[in-house]
Amino acid sequence: MNNPQQAARVGLFFLLGVALTWVTFETLSGGKILKDDGYRLIAGFETLKELKVGDEVRMAGVKIGDVAHTRLAGRRAEAVLRIASSVKIKSDAHASIIMAGLIGSNYIGIDLGSANAPDLPPGAEIQTRSTPDLNSVMTQIGEMGKKLEAALGNLGGALSGDGQGGPGLLQKVDLLVTENRENLSKATANLQEITAKVNRGEGTLGRMINDPSLHDDLVASIAEIKAGATEAKTFLANAQSIVDEVKAGKGAIGALVFDQKAGDDLKASIANLRAVSDKIAQDEGTLGKLLSDDSILRDAQAIMKKADRALDGMDDTGPITAVGVIANGLF
Amino acid sequence: MRTLNRVLEGIGSTILLLLRSVAYLPTLPRQFGRFVEQCYLIGYTTLPIVAILSFFIGSVLALQSGYAAQNLGPKQFIGLLVGLTMARELGPVMVAVLLTGRVGSAIAAELASMKVYQEIDALETMNIPPARMLVMPRLAATLFMMPVLTIIADLVGWFGGAIIAKYTSFIAIEPASYFATMRQYMDFDDVLNGLIKAEVFGFVIVLVCCNIGLNTRGGPREIGAAVTRAVVASLILILVLDYFVTKALM
């Protein structure tokens, strides 16, 4: 093989290797040759649980850094967080250790904090929140299980009797049923009979359930009630309009109720009427005397009698008078 | 005692050969043709067997981990397992083993026969140091070609695992999920770690094979013995160094 061809193949092969390395690098590391070292924050916890160096730091679910290292500082554990330079963390943001899965992987979750709080400077300590880990949750579940077991034991004892507190609920119920078996049988038989009657349409309840005409009547009654309600509504609407007009001072009643002058006139009229009636009651004036003195009545009766007789006399002399009148007229 | 003496002699002569070869590094541009030839032999001609072997190693890894995970559950991590294992361990080690079998043995046989047939002596007589003409270009070519071979082995192994993970009934993981876990949990550092290991392995294999070939004494029968010694020593060194380099890079 000649050298130029060999060299070309070697060169191609080498370039292929470089290209593949670059593709792998781009895919796995996002193409950053120098890693962004970011800045550090310190997060103190009572316990770091399963947190390890290299675990992720996430804000709202987005990876913003990782745990640079962990250390014991006095009576607490500290995780030094490496945060990307482009991410600013607010001073009131809280960090907490969050379990990502059941196989022991954890990450540090940081909340967003408030928008107007100042940013944490590099090296500052971030506020933390402790979250229950799997073990404490399991312990609590275990305690809850124990309590549940005890409660179920008590319930079982209450139901079946434990030999100390007398017979259990089930025994009592059993005893009650045994003692009242006959009554219960009778009651059941009666109930059966009643339901059979109802089913056959006997009795009020049976008819109500089985007779379709009752339904029709009910529907008709409801229709009548509806019509009555409509009329009542109309009536109320009219009454309302009248009341409105009265309130507006229209009409006689309106004027009477709301017009001050008309009220005053009415008062004055009533006062006058009262004065007149008082005078009549005290036999003052013509009308009073007319009502209280019966001599006037007698006089009137005598007058009427006299008038009656006079009229009778006129009946007899009537034609003569008429001739006289005519003669006077002619002559 | 004799064996220990031979081992120590071997270590010492290898280090001396290394130092002499490094000292001749400035002569590389003048030997560019030889360097390209060695690159061709070490890299280009080794590629097919590296690709085939890596494909099946990746496939077997996916198959075995899928078999183990079918009752356990986390099948989606097969991608991560294959990716990390290929990149950090099996990729460089398998390329090194193939290099030993294909290139290391050839170097040892070639240099041993040159030594037996006194060609090396002839070179030395002509004031041409064998470390300059025979060893240094091979070392440089190995350093150039090992990363290329290793990255190809990694990628072919990953794809082999992805294909098997998709088409095996009891695994049935989509390539997207397979590569997603790989991308999520792997870093280029893992791949770089493997490339560094491959460089170390390749450098040591070529150096040891050259040294054993150049130190062959006796007749033609010694050529075969030298090749056997070179391959055995290289394989042992690969596995021993693997531990220490892995430890050092963690």
Residue boundaries of the structural domains of chain B: 33-249
pLDDT in tens, A38-91: 888 999 988 888 788 878 889 888 888 888 888 998 888 999 998 988 888 888
For residue B8, give how far its alpha carbon lies from the nearest alpha carbon of chain A (Å): 37
A5 touches chain B (CB under 8 A): no
Choose among B169, B202, B171: nearest CA to B82: B171
Mean pLDDT of chain A: 82
Tell the burial category of A24 from Cβ atoms under 10 Å away from its Cβ (0-12, 13-18, 19+). buried
Examine the domain organization and report whether A43 and A118 are in the same domain: yes
Give the mean pLDDT of chain B. Answer: 91
pLDDT at B22: 92
Q: Which two tokens stand for residue A96?
A: 């907490």
- According to DSSP H, which parts of chain A are helical? 3-29, 134-160, 169-179, 181-200, 203-210, 212-247, 251-258, 260-281, 285-292, 294-316, 318-330
Report the SS3 class of residue B127: coil
Residue A198: predicted pLDDT: 85
Residues 99-138, chain A, touching B (beta carbon < 8 A): 103
Nearest to B144 among A14, A25, A103 (CB): A14
Question: Taking CB atoms and an 8 Å cutoff, what residues of chain B touch A14?
Answer: 39, 43, 144-145, 148
Q: In terms of Cα–Cα distance, which of A104, A50, A44 is closest to A74?
A: A44
Question: Please, what is the Cα angle at A73 between A71 and A76, to 5 degrees?
Answer: 100
CB contact under 8 A, A28 and B191: yes
Provide the shortest C-alpha distance from residue A89 to chain B (in Å): 24
How many Cα neighbours within 13 Å face the side chain of A61? 0
Q: What is the pLDDT of residue A164?
A: 65
pLDDT of residue A2: 54
Q: Does residue B195 belong to the interface with chain A, where contact is any CB pair within 8 Å?
A: yes
Number of domains comprising chain A: 2
Q: Is residue A49 included in any domain, yes or no?
A: yes
Question: Which pLDDT band, with edges at 50, 70 and 90, does A162 fall under?
Answer: low
Cβ neighbors of A217 (< 8 A, separation 6 or more) are none
Identify all chain B residues contacting A27, using CB atoms and an 8 Å cutoff. Answer: 183
pLDDT of the residue at B224: 93
Between strands A39-45 and A56-59, the pairing is unpaired
Q: Does B155 touch chain A (CB under 8 A)?
A: yes
Packed helices B32-42 and A3-29: angle between N→C axes, nearest 10 degrees = 60
CA–CA gap between residue A44 and residue A175 (Å, rounded): 66
**Residue B60 in contact with partner chain A when CB distance is under 8 A:** no
Domain that holds residue A157: 152-200
Q: Which of B40, B147, B151 sits opposite A9 (nearest CB)?
A: B40
Residues in chain A: 331
In a domain? residue A192: yes
Residue A78 sits in the same domain as residue A112: yes
Q: Do A3 and B147 touch (CB under 8 A)?
A: no
Query: How far away is chain B from the Cα of A167, in angstroms, using its nearest Cα?
Result: 51
Number of A/B CB contacts below 8 angstroms equals 63
Taking the CA of residue A172 and the nearest CA in chain B, the distance in Å comes to: 52
Asked if B44 lies within 8 A of A13 by C-beta distance, the reply is: yes
Say what the pLDDT of residue A31 is: 59
Whole-number percent of chain B with pLDDT over 70 = 100
pLDDT confidence bin for B99, thresholds 50/70/90:
very high
> Could you report the per-residue pLDDT of A253-297, keeping only the tens digit for each?
777 777 778 778 888 888 999 888 888 878 777 777 777 777 777
Phi, psi angles (nearest 5°) of residue A211: -85, 120
Name which of A1, A13, A32, A55 to mutate to probe chain B: the one with the most chain B Cβ atoms within 10 A of its Cβ: A13
- Cα first-last separation, chain A: 189
Kindly tell me if the per-residue pLDDT of B147 is higher than 90.
yes
Query: A126 with A157, same domain?
Result: no
Give A228's contacts (C-beta < 8 A, 6+ positions apart): none
Q: Do A17 and B151 touch (CB under 8 A)?
A: yes
Rounded to an integer, the average pLDDT of B88-108 is 94
- Does A125 lie in the same domain as A88? yes
What pLDDT score does A325 carry?
65
At position A310, the amino acid (one-letter code) is A
Are A14 and B152 in contact (CB < 8 Å)? no
The last residue of one of the domains, among A136, A162, A187, is A136
* Number of CB atoms found within 10 A of residue A236's CB: 10
Of B33, B43, B187, the CB nearest to A29: B187
Displacement of CA B34 from its chain's centroid (Å)? 20
User: What is residue A68's three-state secondary structure?
Assistant: strand
Both A56 and A121 in a single domain? Answer: yes
Q: Based on the domain organization, do A113 and A190 belong to the same domain?
A: no
Q: Among partner residues B144, B145, B151, which is closest to A24 by beta-carbon distance?
A: B151
Q: Is the minimum CB–CB distance between A10 and chain B shorter than 8 Å?
A: yes
**Do residues A114 and A181 both lie within one domain?**
no
Q: Is residue A228 part of a domain?
A: no
Query: Same domain for A99 and A178?
Result: no
Q: Which residues of B touch A10 (CB under 8 A)?
A: 36, 39-40, 43-44
Strand-strand pairing, A106-110 and A76-83: unpaired
User: With 90 as the cut, is the pLDDT of residue B199 above it?
Assistant: yes
Domain assignment of residue A222, yes or no: no
> Kind of pairing, strands A39-45 and A62-73?
unpaired
- The verdict on residue A61 lying in a domain is yes
Domain boundary residue among A136, A160, A185? A136
Is residue A147 very low, low, confident or very high in pLDDT (cuts 50, 70, 90)? very high
Q: Do A17 and B47 touch (CB under 8 A)?
A: no
Query: Do A167 and A127 belong together in one domain?
Result: no
